[in-house]
């Protein structure tokens, strides 16, 4: 009841935001009538009631959040510590263009401006990384906070901050300047100017810190990393190693890797030998494993050499696929000094441009899915866990007491045990209630790092060597960095701190006592996979395997992509005279390669089992699917039929792996299609134990029948309303607070889907798209699914969404300080 009532209230808030001034007063009267209900709903949901008088006060309450940023224009601002005046020009999309005389001033103003438009988001995301959400919403978030701390995210940020302070005082000083800018904005905030979320949840922003900027980067590392050690440990017991290796091969047959196959490796690899006689912990694991990046989280990037482009200039494109949220993960900016100007997407809370271009070079990132997180089973000497066994000796543990403040309740204290491997995430006090476990997490993100310096250097970079030098500071999360330059160079490097492992190491839970399970070091950065100006005329990545099998180091991950990358590379191989319009079209390409390869096999198996009595019912749907062009446009019905059929089939084949809530992962879609096509009578199809399911044909037929039942139910419930792909997929961009549904956008009319270049699923998709031509004057376009403002009452909160959903872009060319065309307002900063 409270959720429904709360959403109704939030709807009333939104009503006043989008309406004219008279309607705002009407909404105010409505709000007065529901004041009591508001207090009850918020008390139940968030643990305390906000001061309703202030919240509803027309002079300082939520009414003030109904104005867009261009309503209150600060023409001049005093910013303490500036060395010279700084000018900020906002274009018609509220994109700020900052013109400063030096980098300290530049990043100080970047911090101030970002906080002005995205403060609540910045703080909320870093509090999530720090395990502090319970301070805001109460005990409902306690397990989330415990997990963040047990994974070691605060510990990681502390390590990074200490390392950078000692090793890179220049970058540390710039982060301090950014922090000072954020904090001056916070210090000037009155209650009326607070972002709405603070008012509803009844708390105030605390000062920003250097530590929080590093926490943000660890938040991103955590978002993009996954592992399956515990799941593979269970699968080895269920399937045996032989069948496990058949169903989960390290490389697919159609491997089209990030670094082109046939690349000659011009280095001498470090030797690493698998020890003999290893003993793995041999037990089924029933803990609730860590959340993994969801299906659809990935990215595309590529660059095209001048010889394949119409204008003879290098082209570049990048579209990171992440969770779709409001406020948007990204915030667009131009940053300018007398030495350089750079434009693209920033992460609120971090310095510089993360994905974008300057006047000489351009870059972008995709997730390089590599296993950089391993699990060790620890044996402790006593209940207090003050010592653990390593190399048959007792080693002292480090105990870290995590004090988690809980809104409206007493502080919760959680003891996290740290071994030399890393923190013990799962134990009797967390997710180990059903099993006596002590599992320690070893993760490259726990180590010292300086990712911030990478982006500072890229922002200033002039050429390919500058790009390589910048990447030498980047460790986690592993990324595929694409590059293009005005000089015509294109490049790709798979960059991260990659453990030096023997074949198979880290695939299963390891014994923390046995030193032979230790990582043997790290692959040197100059031996990470990379390519420059390959003969094929393009570089690309779409989260597929980094390399072919001839790369001399062990490469493994459970989540390499198998379809987007092949579609992308096939198109780039066959296309010439490429333009920016071609690049945009490719980012929005909705061809479903998985369906194109799976559906003919499924139809063939189905047709072999159709009887004359079935045909009248089956044929209309079968004819529709047989005539499908494999696009996934929003108004099509065929993608719905295929997706329901495929999902049913996939579960039907692999559900035998689900045993007693033991965590496992299913073989990927590529291997499943391969089995259907090459071994339809194989033993694997009879493992369900059901007498009606003995072959691939049985599974295909049964899952098709289930699809018919679901479609018939839809038709009976919705009458003449068609089951279109857009309606079925229901792409939604949700507010970061799940219950704030009125601040979310549901049912966005757009195509694409998981495993498709236009990877727009239900809750994931292209979080930022940009394309650029690296001419004498860079030409660029960009878009993301949201808006520049974090204020739900602003017209700039979601004004990009429709353009993004339609595959459209806004002009992202550089703006000169003297160019005032399209400037909606300017602000002068001075000391």
Listed residue (150, 225, 233) closest to 427, CA to CA? 150
* 550 alpha-carbon distance from chain centroid: 30
Which region, left, alpha or beta, applies to residue 436 given φ > 0 means left and ψ of -120 to 50 means alpha? beta
Residue 302 sits at φ, ψ, to 5 deg, of -165, 165
- What gap in Å lies between CA 52 and CA 791, rounded to an integer? 20
Question: Taking phi first (over 0 means left), then psi (-120 to 50 degrees means alpha), and beta for anything else, what does residue 439 get?
Answer: beta
Give the 3-state secondary structure of residue 482: strand
Which helix (DSSP H) or strand (DSSP E) does residue 357 occupy? Answer: strand 355-358
- Contact yes or no for 728/715 (Cβ under 8 A): no
Local structure of 703: helix, strand or coil: helix
Identify the residue whose tokens are 């500071």.
473
Lateral strand order in the sheet of 479-485: 76-78, 825-830, 86-90, 96-99, 331-336, 341-346, 355-358, 361-367, 479-485, 490-495, 530-532
- Contacts of residue 647, Cβ cutoff 8 Å, sequence gap at least 6: none
Measured between alpha carbons, how far is residue 431 from residues 1, 290, 425, 461, 662 in Å?
30, 10, 9, 46, 13
Options 31, 156, 171, 299, the catalytic residue: 299
Q: For this structure, is 31 an active site residue?
A: no
- Can you tell me the distance from the alpha carbon of 373 to that of 654, in angstroms, rounded to the nearest whole number? 26
Helices (H) and strands (E) in the chain, counts: 24, 29
- Residues 589, 676: contact at Cβ < 8 Å? no
The closest of 738, 747, 733 to 798, measured between CA atoms, is 733
Partners of residue 701 on adjacent β-strands = none
Distance CA 397, CA 380 (A): 9
Distance CA(265)–CA(524), nearest Å, equals: 13
Give ∠ CA 187-788-213 in degrees, rounded to 5: 50
The answer to whether residues 800 and 810 touch, using CB atoms and an 8 Å cutoff, is yes
Query: Which residues are annotated as part of the binding site?
Result: 231, 371, 374
The answer for 804, left when phi > 0, alpha when psi is -120 to 50, beta otherwise, is: alpha
Residue ranges for the known binding site for Ca(2+) are 231, 371, 374
Using CA atoms, how far residue 312 sits from 307, 309, 587, 695, 779, in Å, is 6, 5, 21, 54, 13
DSSP string, 569-626: HHHHHH--SB-HHHHHHHHT--B-HHHHHHHHHHHHHHHTT--HHHHHHHHHHHHHHH
Whether residue 327 is preceded by a cis peptide bond, meaning omega within 30 degrees of 0, is yes
The kind and range of the H/E element at 334 are: strand 331-336
- Going from the C-alpha of 127 to that of each of 124, 403, 422, 522, the distances in angstroms are 5, 14, 22, 31
Quote the tokens at residue 524. Answer: 């040197």
CA distance 397 to 467: 41
Are the C-beta atoms of residues 485 and 501 closer than 8 Å to each other?
no
Q: How many CA atoms lie within 13 A of 328 on its CB side?
A: 29
Report the SS3 class of residue 310. coil
End-to-end CA distance of the chain: 52
How many whole angstroms separate alpha carbon 146 and alpha carbon 293? 19
Helix (H, G, I), strand (E, B) or coil at 735: strand
Q: Which residues are catalytic?
A: 299
């Amino acid at each position: 009841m409270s959720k429904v009532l709360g959403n109704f209230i939030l709807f009333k808030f939104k009503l006043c935001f989008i309406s004219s001034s008279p309607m705002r007063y009407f909404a105010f009267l409505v709000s007065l009538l529901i004041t009591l209900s508001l207090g009850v709903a918020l008390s139940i949901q968030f643990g305390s009631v906000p001061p309703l008088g202030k919240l509803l006060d027309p002079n300082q309450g939520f009414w003030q959040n109904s104005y867009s940023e261009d309503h209150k224009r600060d023409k001049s601002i005093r910013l303490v510590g500036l060395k010279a005046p700084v000018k900020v020009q906002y274009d018609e999309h509220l994109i700020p263009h900052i013109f400063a005389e030096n980098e300290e001033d530049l990043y100080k103003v970047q911090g101030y401006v970002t906080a002005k438009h995205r403060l609540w988001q910045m703080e909320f995301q870093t509090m999530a990384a720090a395990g502090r959400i319970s301070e805001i919403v109460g005990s409902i978030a306690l397990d989330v906070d415990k997990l963040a701390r047990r994974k070691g995210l605060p510990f990681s940020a502390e390590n990074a901050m200490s390392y950078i302070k000692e090793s890179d005082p220049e970058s540390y000083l710039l982060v301090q300047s950014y922090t000072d800018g954020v904090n001056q904005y916070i210090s000037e905030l009155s209650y009326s100017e607070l972002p709405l979320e603070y008012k509803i949840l009844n708390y105030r922003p605390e000062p920003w810190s250097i530590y929080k900027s590093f926490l943000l980067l660890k938040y991103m590392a955590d978002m993009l990393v996954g592992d399956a050690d515990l799941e593979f440990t269970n699968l080895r017991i269920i399937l045996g190693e032989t069948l496990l290796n058949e169903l989960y091969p390290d490389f697919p047959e159609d491997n089209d890797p990030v670094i082109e196959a046939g690349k000659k490796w011009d280095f001498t690899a470090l030797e690493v030998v698998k020890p003999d006689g290893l003993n793995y912990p041999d037990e089924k694991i029933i803990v609730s494993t860590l959340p993994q990046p969801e299906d659809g989280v990935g990215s595309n990037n590529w660059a095209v050499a001048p010889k394949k482009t119409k204008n003879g200039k290098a082209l570049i494109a990048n579209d990171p696929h992440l969770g779709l949220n409001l406020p948007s993960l990204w915030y667009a900016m131009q940053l300018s000094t007398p030495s350089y100007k750079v434009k693209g997407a920033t992460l609120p809370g971090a310095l510089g441009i993360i994905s974008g271009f300057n006047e000489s070079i351009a870059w972008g990132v995709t997730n390089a899915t590599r296993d950089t997180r391993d699990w060790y089973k620890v044996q402790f000497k006593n209940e207090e866990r003050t010592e653990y066994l390593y190399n048959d000796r007792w080693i002292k543990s480090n105990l870290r007491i995590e004090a988690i403040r809980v809104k409206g309740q007493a502080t919760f204290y959680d003891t996290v045990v740290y071994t030399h491997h890393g923190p013990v995430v799962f134990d009797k006090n967390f997710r180990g209630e059903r099993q006596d476990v002590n599992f320690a997490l070893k993760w490259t993100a726990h180590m010292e790092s300086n990712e911030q310096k990478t982006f500072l250097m890229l922002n200033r970079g002039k050429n390919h060597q500058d790009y390589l030098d910048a990447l030498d500071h980047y460790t986690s999360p592993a990324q595929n960095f694409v590059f293009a330059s005005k000089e015509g160079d294109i490049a790709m490097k798979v960059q991260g701190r990659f453990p030096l492992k023997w074949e198979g190491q880290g695939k299963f839970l390891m014994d923390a006592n046995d030193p032979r399970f230790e990582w043997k070091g790290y692959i040197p950065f100059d031996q990470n996979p990379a390519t420059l100006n390959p003969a094929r005329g393009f570089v690309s990545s779409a989260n597929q395997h980094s390399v072919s099998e001839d790369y001399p180091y062990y490469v493994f991950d459970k989540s390499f992509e198998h379809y987007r990358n092949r579609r992308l590379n096939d198109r780039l191989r066959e296309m010439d005279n490429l333009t920016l319009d071609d690049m945009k079209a490719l980012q929005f390409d909705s061809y479903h390669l998985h369906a194109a390869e799976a559906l003919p096999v499924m139809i063939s198996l189905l047709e072999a089992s159709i009887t004359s009595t079935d045909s009248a019912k089956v044929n209309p749907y079968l004819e529709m699917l047989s005539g499908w062009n494999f696009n996934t446009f929003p108004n099509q019905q065929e993608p719905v039929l295929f997706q329901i059929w495929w999902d049913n089939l996939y579960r039907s084949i692999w559900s035998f792996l689900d045993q007693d809530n033991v965590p496992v992962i299913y073989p990927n879609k590529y291997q499943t299609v391969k089995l259907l096509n090459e071994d339809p009578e194989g033993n694997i199809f009879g493992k369900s134990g059901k007498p009606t399911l003995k072959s691939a044909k049985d599974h295909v037929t049964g899952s098709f029948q289930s699809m018919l039942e679901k479609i018939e139910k839809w038709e009976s419930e919705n009458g003449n309303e068609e089951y279109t792909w857009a309606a079925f997929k229901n792409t939604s961009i949700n507010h970061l607070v799940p219950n704030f549904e009125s601040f979310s956008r549901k049912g966005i009319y757009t195509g694409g889907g998981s495993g498709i270049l236009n990877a727009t699923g239900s809750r994931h998709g292209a979080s930022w798209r940009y394309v650029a031509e690296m001419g004498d004057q860079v030409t660029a376009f960009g878009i993301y699914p949201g808006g520049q403002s974090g204020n739900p009452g602003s017209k700039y909160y979601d004004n990009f969404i429709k353009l993004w959903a339609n595959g459209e872009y806004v002009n992202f060319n550089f703006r000169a300080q003297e160019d005032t065309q399209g400037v909606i307002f300017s602000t002068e900063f001075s000391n």
